[in-house]
Amino acid sequence: MNTTVTVTKRLVNSFEQLAPGHRACLGCGEALAVRLVGKALGQNVIIVSATGCMEIISSQYPFTSWEVPWIHTLFENASAVASGIEAGIRALSRKGEFNEKTKVVAMGGDGATSDIGLQALSGALERRHNFIYICYDNEAYMNTGVQRSSATPYGASTTTSPASKITIGQTTWKKNMPAIVAAHDVPYVATACASYPFDLMSKVQKAMNVDGPSYIHILSVCPTGWRSSTESVIGLGRLAVRTGIFPLYEIEDGRYKLNMQMDKLHPVEEYLKQQGRFRHLSPEVIASIQTRVNADYAKLKEKATRS
Amino acid sequence: MNGQQTTEFRWHGRGGQGAVTSAEMIALAAIEEGKFAQAFPSFGPERRGAPVLAFNRVHDSIPIKIRSGVTNPDVVVVLDPGLLTIIDVMAGLKENGVLVINSPKSLSELKKDYSGPWNLAVVDATKIARKELGVPIVNTTMLGAVVKAVGIIKLESLNGPIKEHFGARAPSNITAAREAYEQTQIAPPVKTMPKRVEVLEVLPSWQEILPGCVVTSPGSAKQYRTGDWRSKYTDFDYSRCIKCGLCYIFCPEGCIEQRPDGYFESNKYYCKGCGICATECPKEVISMIEEAS
Ligand SMILES: Cc1ncc(C[n+]2csc(CCOP(=O)(O)OP(=O)(O)O)c2C)c(N)n1
C-alpha cells in the first residue's frame, strides 16, 4: 500500500524510488526530476539507464540508490536493453510464467538520447515496444564535465564549445527531440520540467497507461554545468518555460496540446542572464535568440491550434 | 622543510571549492622558481559539495617520476573547516610535516584537537576571502597560508600563475593570498597524537560480492551521509509554516520528511544544503545558515 504526502492540497506518493544518499551535486535538477518521475511510476517498473550522471550518482558499486529493479549496461543502448526486457516480459506472459503489469522505463541524458542513443531509441519506437523513454535534458554531457551535445542551446559556452573573442560558444540550435520522436507516430510525447512537479507527474502517469511507446523530455536545470546558483534551480526551470525557451506541451496521437497558454512571453534575457554559460552573449545575439524563440513558439501554437 | 627531498602535499576540499586549482597554482609557482613539480586531483563519482582530494609533489632539482596519489604527505591543507570532523585529514601526515587549516577558530583553540608531531598552521581564510573577493571561496587565499607554513616556495612566485589563471580577478586574489600569508599563525610539533576521526563507511570484501556486478539490496546507498557535503544547513521557523509541502516536493535529495504533527523537516544526514527549499518556501519558513558559524 502506498502512503501519501499532501502537497498544496494534492496527494503525492511518498515512495522514494531514488533513495536519499545519492551522489548528485547539491541542487541537481536532474536528480529532482528522477525523484518526481519515480513517485509517478511507483514500484512496478524496471528501469534501464544509459550511462551518464544519473547512473553514476546512483550506483556506486557495490551499493545502489534504486528501490526498484534497475539495470545499466552502456551509454548508447538503453532503448535496446529496454526493448529486450519488454519482449522478454511479453514472452514470459504468453507462457503464463509472468503475470505482472510491469512497465519498462528507459532513461538517459540529452547526450544519450539525442546523440549516441538515437539509433537504438528510433528502433525501439519503430518496433512499438511497450515502454516509456525519459530524456533528462541538462543540455550537455554533464557527467564527463560539460561537453556540448546536439541539445545544447545556441550561445551556450561548454568545454567543447567554449565562448571566446571569435565565437559565441555553441553555434547550432537545439535539436528538436520531441518532434523527432513524434515523427515515429508514437501514441504519447510530452515535455516537462521539475519546476512544474504536478504537471510532470501527471504526464508520467499518462505514459504509464499508454500501450506502446511513449516519450517524455524533461528539462533538468544543472547548476554545475549552467553555472547558476543552486537555490535558483526551480526558478530557472520556470523561466525556461515562461520565456517560451522550453514550452510545456503534449503530443497525443499526433495532436499537439500546449499545457500553459502564454499570451506574452517573458524576455529570454531574464533567463539567460542568470547563467554563467550565457554571460558572454551580446545584446545582438540575445536579440537573435529572442527572434528564434518567438518564431518557434508561434509555430508550436499554430500546431496546437490546428490539432 | 627543505627542497632536497620531494615534498608531498594533500589538499582536502569540497567539489567546486577549487582545491585542484590550488594544487595547480603551487606546482606552477614551484616551476616558476626552476623546481620540478606536479599537481593532480583524485576523482571519484562525487560531485559539487562532496569531499575531494588534490595532490602536489615538489622537488628542487630532480624530475618527479612517481605518479600515484599521496598517502604519506609532508603537507596537509584543509580548505573547509567542516571537513575536520568527518575526515581523518591527519591520516599519514609525516613527523615534522605541516597541517594547514582554514578556520575561524584561533590557533590556541585548535591546538587541543589538531596539534601532533607536526606544525599546525591556522588562518581564517574564509574571512579574508569574503573581504577581498566578496565570496567565501578560499582556494587562492589559502595559497598564502601554505607558502608561509611550508617555506619552500616564495609568495611572489604565485603572482605569475594567479595572473595567468584569473586574469582580471588576479589582483584581489593576490591580495587575499598576501593577507593570509601575513595572518597565518603556526605552532610547533608536540609529542602527543590528537584524537582522530573515525571513518564509518563499511565496504564489503570481494568474497561477499556477487559476480556480474549484481546488487541485491535495494536502496543500500542510503548509508552514504551526503550531509557531510553541506556548507549551509536549513533552519525551520514553524511559526509561519502552513504545511504546504513545497519544500518536500522540490528537494532533489528526497530528504525532507513530514513529522507526525504535519510539519516538515530536513534530514541532516542527507541534506546537502542546496537552498532550494528556502527559496521555494512561500512563507519564508526556512533560512540557510552557514555551517561553521
Ligand atoms: C560509448 C561511450 N562513449 C563515451 C562515454 C563516456 N561518457 C560517460 S557519461 C557521458 C556523458 C553523458 O551525458 P548525457 O547523456 O548528456 O547525460 P548527463 O551526464 O548530462 O546526465 C560520456 C561522454 C561512454 N561511457 N561510452
Do B165 and B67 share a structural domain? yes
Does any domain span residue B201?
no
* Model pLDDT for residues A49-95, shown as the tens digit of each residue: 999 999 999 998 888 999 999 999 999 999 999 999 999 999 999 99
Could you tell me how far CA A15 lies from the centroid of its own chain? Answer: 21
Q: Which residue has the higher pLDDT, B211 or A188?
A: A188
Q: Are B106 and B81 in contact (CB under 8 A)?
A: no
d(CA B61, CA A29): 49
Q: Is A57 in CB contact (< 8 Å) with chain B?
A: yes
Asked if pLDDT for residue A151 goes beyond 90, the answer is yes
- Residue of B84, B80, B99, B93 whose CA lies nearest to B138: B80
Domain count, chain B: 2
Over range A248-269, report the average pLDDT: 96
DSSP calls for B165-181: HHGGGHHHHHHHHHHHH
d(CA A169, CA A177): 21
User: Which residue, judged by its Cα, is nearest atom 9 of ligand 1?
Assistant: A52
Look at strands A45-49 and A103-109 and give their pairing: parallel
Name the minimum distance, in Å, from the CA of B222 to any CA of chain A: 5
DSSP calls for B91-115: TTPPTT-EEEEE-SS-HHHHHHHH-
Q: Is A203 in CB contact (< 8 Å) with chain B?
A: no
- Ligand 1 environment, Cβ below 6 A: A 30, 51-54, 75-76, 108-112, 136, 138, 141-144, 149
pLDDT for the residue B200: 59
Q: Which residue has the cell 556477487?
A: B210
Distance from Cα B252 to the centre of ligand 1, integer Å: 21
Over range A235-250, report the average pLDDT: 98
Domain boundary among B127, B152, B187: B187
Does any domain span residue B1?
no
Q: Residue A62: is the preceding peptide bond cis (ω within 30°)?
A: yes
Do B155 and B32 share a structural domain? yes
Domain boundary among B152, B187, B222: B187
Does any domain span residue B196?
no
Over range A257-268, report the average pLDDT: 94
d(CA B79, CA B180): 13
Do B181 and B40 share a structural domain? yes
d(CA A221, CA A174): 15
Do B238 and B160 share a structural domain? no
Do B240 and B130 share a structural domain? no
First to last CA, chain B: 34
pLDDT for the residue B173: 97
CATH of the domain at B248: 3.30.70.20
Chain B residue with CA closest to A7: the answer is B245
Q: Which three cell numbers stand for residue A220?
A: 533538468
User: Which residue, judged by its Cα, is nearest atom 4 of ligand 1?
Assistant: A75
First to last CA, chain A: 40
Do B116 and B78 share a structural domain? yes
d(CA B281, CA B241): 9
d(CA B245, CA B35): 58
Q: Are A200 and A115 in contact (CB under 8 A)?
A: no
Do B120 and B30 share a structural domain? yes
Look at strands B98-102 and B119-123 and give their pairing: parallel
Do B72 and B173 share a structural domain? yes
d(CA B263, CA B284): 14
Q: Which three cell numbers stand for residue B10?
A: 594533500
Does any domain span residue B192?
no
Using CB atoms and an 8 Å cut-off, which of residues 184-203 of chain B contact chain A? 203
Domain encompassing residue B233? 206-290
Look at strands A70-72 and A103-109 and give their pairing: unpaired
Ligand 1 mutation target, pool A18, A75, A119, most atoms within 8 A of CB: A75
d(CA A259, CA B164): 49
Distance from Cα A76 to the centre of ligand 1, integer Å: 9
pLDDT for the residue B46: 61
- Residue of B44, B28, B284, B1 whose CA lies nearest to B165: B28
pLDDT for the residue B204: 73
d(CA B264, CA B276): 14
Q: Is B255 in CB contact (< 8 Å) with chain A?
A: yes
Do B258 and B160 share a structural domain? no
Asked if pLDDT for residue A2 goes beyond 70, the answer is no
What ipTM is given for this predicted complex? Answer: 0.96
Q: Are A34 and A204 in contact (CB under 8 A)?
A: no
* Model pLDDT for residues A174-183, shown as the tens digit of each residue: 999 999 999 9
CATH of the domain at B95: 3.40.920.10
Do B57 and B29 share a structural domain? yes
Do B211 and B169 share a structural domain? no
Under an 8 A CB cutoff, do B219 and A66 touch? yes
DSSP calls for A130-154: SEEEEEEE-SSBTTTT-B--TTSPT
d(CA B79, CA A167): 36
Q: Is A164 in CB contact (< 8 Å) with chain B?
A: no
d(CA B98, CA B94): 8
Using CB atoms and an 8 Å cut-off, which of residues 126-145 of chain B contact chain A? none
Asked if pLDDT for residue A307 goes beyond 90, the answer is no
pLDDT for the residue B116: 95
Do B140 and B87 share a structural domain? yes
d(CA A116, CA A136): 14
Does any domain span residue B183?
yes
In ligand 1, which atom is closest to the CA atom of A30? 21
Under an 8 A CB cutoff, do B254 and A29 touch? no
Closest in A19, A62, A224 to B48, CB measured: A224
Kindly list the structural domains of chain A, giving each domain's residue range(s) and its CATH number in brackets, ordered by start.
4-306 (3.40.50.970)
pLDDT for the residue B225: 86
pLDDT for the residue B136: 84
Ranges in chain B, pLDDT < 50: 293
- Residue of B77, B127, B78 whose CA lies nearest to B104: B127
Over range A13-33, report the average pLDDT: 96
Mutate: best of A6, A23, A26, partner B, most B CBs <10 A: A26
Over range A186-206, report the average pLDDT: 98
Does any domain span residue B2?
no
Does any domain span residue B256?
yes
pLDDT for the residue B201: 59
Over range A150-163, report the average pLDDT: 98
Q: What percent of chain A has pLDDT over 90?
A: 97
Does any domain span residue B135?
yes
User: Nearest-5° angle of CA A75, CA A78, CA A81?
Assistant: 125
User: Which residue, judged by its Cα, is nearest atom 24 of ligand 1?
Assistant: A75
Under an 8 A CB cutoff, do B275 and A231 touch? yes
* Model pLDDT for residues B113-129, shown as the tens digit of each residue: 999 999 999 999 999 99
Q: Are B262 and B243 in contact (CB under 8 A)?
A: yes
